[in-house]
Amino acid sequence: MDAPERLILGIESSCDETAAAVVAGGRRILSSIVSSQIDIHRKYAGVVPELASREHLRKIVPVVREALDQANVALADLDAVAVTQGPGLTGALLVGMTYGKVLALALQKPLIAVNHLEGHVHAVILEAHLAARHPQWPAVCLIVSGGHTVLYHVTSSAHGDASRAKFSYARIGGTRDDAAGEAYDKVARMLALGYPGGPILDQLAAHGDAKAVRFGEPKMKSNPHDFSFSGIKTAMLYHLRRHPELQPEIDARQQALARGECTADALRQLSSPATLDLVASFQRAVIDDLTTRTLAAAQQHNARTILVSGGVAANRELRSGFESEARRHSLDVYFPSRALSTDNAAMIAAAAHPRYLDSDFADASLNAEPNLALA
């Protein structure tokens, strides 16, 4: 007879999303609640750590309660509580971690510490399970978000059911400066295209000519699997200086944003074909760089599979680019669903499941690790 599916409550508060989820057996999502703080940070065009901590404090109790209600699970039914230990903003991490710790203590249930980046890997595994697909190992995993752009070589202890297996990671490359999502957000800020930049630029890029403006490819001298996005950001700044005729529309969009008109459609109405071309060219340069370097790393490391996760993995051009390139190289590629690409707690509960099976538990001395590494 199969062992009962373990119910794990996941809690995530590493950046600007307060999230809680109940996942059964590491793969069936019974609930996944995400309370985003985007509206609070929008006027600063970036996450303000003090405001993030304060908002997590306001939201953590109702978000956990809603996750339990939606899953129709009582606290007493839980088998374990999993929390994000890091990496992330210290104050933000502390809120979810402390709440989870106290909950586990009061319920006398095991507490499981999860690395946020490993959570992003498990977001892919959750999706693979839903699609009844089994990733082949080894894999190369690209985690690409607002805070991270990093490549890992991933191997698995077990073949078959990835929701029960522990993974081993080796870091093979990463950004030397900005994360890709950060570059999206900064470029959107220069062009007055709202915050966060990724989803809006993704939509506007579809209306421009990606060959119109050439952004040079960054050369990585010591490690070809590293990334750099600060050059493209500077190139954008110089382009705008050389084209002062774009300034009036930037001002007009800034005013629209100040009035709260921040949808992609509203901003597109205020964008000339030259701006749409610029956005499309920027996106093409970033996506080409991400796909080319990841594919090269996969080939060099004889990977059979590519996993792509993190907020930028929601990007349409990135998904289609990876799919066609992987097909050309006979590799399998896996993404999370778009909802699980950005930060959520289902991925934290899923990542905790193999640890639960291994009795890999944390105790009350657990502390937040803002720079926690995966490898």
- Enumerate binding residues for Zn ion (CB under 5 A): 145, 343
Q: Which of 20, 81, 312, 374 binds ligand KG4 (CB under 6 A)?
A: 312
Between the CA of residue 247 and those of 15, 251, 270, 271, what are the distances in Å? 33, 6, 12, 11
Q: Is the peptide bond before 110 cis (omega within 30 degrees of 0)?
A: no
Q: Which is nearer to ligand KG4, 127 or 138 (CB)?
A: 127
Which of 235, 116, 227 has the alpha carbon at shortest distance from 177?
227
State how far the Cα of 350 lies from the Cα of 209, in Å rounded to an integer: 40
Q: Is 258 exposed, middle or buried (0-12, 13-18, 19+ CB in 10 A)?
A: exposed
Question: What does 138 bind: Zn ion, ligand KG4, none (CB cut-off 5 to 8 Å by kind)?
Answer: none
State how far the Cα of 364 lies from the Cα of 359, in Å rounded to an integer: 16
Decide: helix, strand or coil at residue 4: coil
Which of 343, 349, 347, 50 has the alpha carbon at shortest distance from 181?
343
- Crossing angle of helices 273-300 and 230-242, rounded to 10°: 160
Q: Which of 311, 321, 336, 354 binds ligand KG4 (CB under 6 A)?
A: 311
Question: Which of the residues 175 through 194 are near ligand KG4 (CB under 6 A)?
Answer: 181, 184-185
Least separation in angstroms between residue 68's CB and ligand KG4 is 23
Least separation in angstroms between residue 156's CB and ligand KG4 is 23
- The contacts of residue 222 (CB under 8 Å, 6+ apart) are none
Least separation in angstroms between residue 369's CB and ligand KG4 is 15
Contacts with ligand KG4: how many residues (CB under 6 A)?
Answer: 19
Q: Count CA atoms closer than 13 A to 10's CA, side-chain side.
A: 38
Q: Does 202 interact with ligand KG4 (rule: CB under 6 A)? A: yes
Least separation in angstroms between residue 254's CB and ligand KG4 is 19
Least separation in angstroms between residue 162's CB and Zn ion is 20
- Crossing angle of helices 90-107 and 49-71, rounded to 10°: 30
Least separation in angstroms between residue 260's CB and Zn ion is 27
Question: What does 199 bind: Zn ion, ligand KG4, none (CB cut-off 5 to 8 Å by kind)?
Answer: ligand KG4
Q: Which is nearer to ligand KG4, 108 or 371 (CB)?
A: 371
Question: What does 96 bind: Zn ion, ligand KG4, none (CB cut-off 5 to 8 Å by kind)?
Answer: none
Q: Which is nearer to ligand KG4, 133 or 189 (CB)?
A: 189
x/- binding map, residues 142-171, to ligand KG4, per CB under 6 A?
---xxx------------------------
Q: Which of 197, 208, 321, 336 binds ligand KG4 (CB under 6 A)?
A: 197
Least separation in angstroms between residue 115's CB and ligand KG4 is 12
Least separation in angstroms between residue 311's CB and Zn ion is 6
Q: Specify which residues 82 forms β-bridges with.
A: 10, 112
Least separation in angstroms between residue 188's CB and ligand KG4 is 7
Q: Which is nearer to ligand KG4, 111 or 188 (CB)?
A: 188
State how far the Cα of 329 lies from the Cα of 322, in Å rounded to an integer: 10
- The contacts of residue 34 (CB under 8 Å, 6+ apart) are 17, 18, 19, 342, 343, 344, 345
Question: What does 127 bind: ligand KG4, Zn ion, none (CB cut-off 5 to 8 Å by kind)?
Answer: none
H helices then E strands: how many in the chain?
13, 10
Q: Which is nearer to Zn ion, 146 or 354 (CB)?
A: 146
- Can you read off the two tokens belonging to residue 154? 């991933």
Q: Does 342 interact with ligand KG4 (rule: CB under 6 A)? A: yes
Q: Does 110 interact with ligand KG4 (rule: CB under 6 A)? A: no
Name the residues that contact ligand KG4, by CB under 6 A. 15, 145-147, 181, 184-185, 196-199, 202, 310-312, 314-315, 342-343
